Amino acid sequence: MAGGKRITDRVIYFVKLAYVVDFDGTVTRKDITSILAKTYAGQAASEVYRLYREGKIGMRRWLEEMVRHFPGDYEQMLALALAAADFKPGFAQFLKFAHESGSPVYIASDGFGFYIEPILERQGLLEYISGIYCNSLVIGSNGSVAIETPHGNPTCDICGNCKAMHVVKLKEKGFRVVYIGNGFNDRYGASHADFIFARAGDRLAEYCAANNIPFVPFADFYDIIQFSYPDKMADVGRPLCTP
């Protein structure tokens, strides 16, 4: 494979392994949700980011504040998202590798979400995804834009999409769950997983390192394909919430 890393054949010795994968900044090189927010919310985005970084608001409130500035033009917003979509090296190969291994891949995103399925479909990769858990936009008849959070936890207002819930449900079905992410908000889902891949140098990796949570740093999806799992996988054991 020109310019890429060689994919070696290997067998993963787990009966049921499932991947829960963040999208923005993990699957994609750029954070499409942040691009949309900065494009349409402008200066207001800086203030909302500050409140989020200081822990004064959660991701759900962040989303609600940002979409107030969005145009009621779905096609315009989707065009911007599609133009910004650029996958990390090895993502397509990883999906095919997981599929051949019999391991389902679920996308779990707490961004704006509306562009995930169109992007995957455009790249011919939707067939390899077992499920997409994300938020969605609702455009009113007056052009107003609101965010819907169908996968939120009704007892918690921090996240729009409860990634921890998706991890826990898969574990209840007997899967060993590998979480792959990059952002600070990924810490909730990752804390319930059996194994964590965190993008090197990003906020999830920093959080795990600061709190002595075991994780494996990765630069691209070839790193994940080529990784040799330990004979036994134990829970991370640091749940941050109760989904």
**pLDDT tens track for 10-66:** 444 445 899 999 999 999 999 999 999 999 998 888 899 899 888 899 999 999 999
**Residue 220 host element (H or E):** none
pLDDT of residue 117: 98
Q: Quick one: tokens of 94? A: 């990883």
Structural domain including 100 reads 17-226
Chain mean pLDDT for the chain: 90
The answer as to whether 196 is a domain residue is: yes
Residue 80 burial class via C-beta count within 10 angstroms: exposed 0-12, middle 13-18, buried 19 and up: middle
How far apart, in whole angstroms, are the C-alpha atoms of residue 217 and residue 190? Answer: 13
In this predicted structure, which of 9-13, 76-80, 119-123 has the lowest mean pLDDT?
9-13
Residue appearing with tokens 């779905």: 74
Beta bridge partners of 19: 105, 178
| 118 inside domain | yes
Q: Is the pLDDT of residue 67 over 80?
A: yes
- Among 211, 209, 177, smallest CA distance to 192 is for 177
Query: Contact at 8 Å (CB) between 214 and 208?
Result: yes
Domain contains 86: yes
pTM: 0.90
Q: What is the CATH number of the domain that holds 121?
A: 3.40.50.1000
Domain count for the chain:
1
Q: CB 171: neighbour CB atoms within 10 A?
A: 17
pLDDT for 2 beyond 50: no
Confidence of residue 127 (pLDDT cuts 50, 70, 90): very high
Q: Is residue 8 part of a domain?
A: no
